[in-house]
């Protein structure tokens, strides 16, 4: 007699070849759908999604390098509110007007760092 793991592996291969929905395949095979889904999730592994989306580990977050430069020649002491523009890879652009010497800016950078 084959092990449970081999049994489920063979069954999953049959399901993938069948082109049927899980419900139809289970009905055809006489398997309770809840048991099939439970074993399928175990096969996929923890943290994976059943809808085929990539696992977060496969698509890590990263920052693009940026260049910070002054737009005008105003002395830095006179400038209290400056703009910082963040351009994301998906073309979303975020412009923030804030004092870059203040703790709010530092907090923003720390939060962005923690996201990745």
Confidence bin at 77 (pLDDT 50/70/90): low
- Distance, CA of 52 to CA of 44 (rounded, Å): 10
- Distance, CA of 4 to CA of 14 (rounded, Å): 15
Quick check: 29 pLDDT over 70? yes
Q: What is the three-class DSSP state of 72?
A: coil
Q: Which residue has the higher pLDDT, 13 or 66?
A: 13
pLDDT at 91 (0 to 100): 77
The mean per-residue pLDDT over the stretch 37-58 comes to 60
| Closest listed residue to residue 105, CA positions, set 51, 68, 78 | 68
pLDDT at 113 (0 to 100): 72
Name the DSSP class of 78.
G
Quick check: 96 pLDDT over 60? yes
Of 15-19, 35-39, 97-101, the poorest mean pLDDT is in 97-101
Domain-wise residue ranges, the chain: 4-46, 76-115
Indicate whether this model's pTM tops 0.85: no
């Amino acid at each position: 007699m084959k092990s449970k793991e081999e049994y489920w592996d063979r069954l999953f291969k049959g399901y993938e070849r069948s082109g049927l929905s899980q419900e139809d395949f289970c009905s055809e095979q006489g398997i309770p759908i809840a048991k099939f889904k439970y074993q399928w999730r175990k096969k996929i592994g923890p943290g994976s999604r059943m809808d085929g989306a990539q696992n977060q580990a496969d698509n890590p977050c990263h920052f693009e390098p940026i260049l910070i430069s002054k737009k005008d020649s105003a002395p830095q002491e006179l400038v209290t509110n400056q703009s910082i523009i963040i351009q994301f890879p998906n073309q979303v652009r975020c412009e923030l007007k804030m004092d870059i010497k203040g703790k709010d800016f530092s907090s923003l950078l720390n939060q962005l760092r923690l996201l990745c």
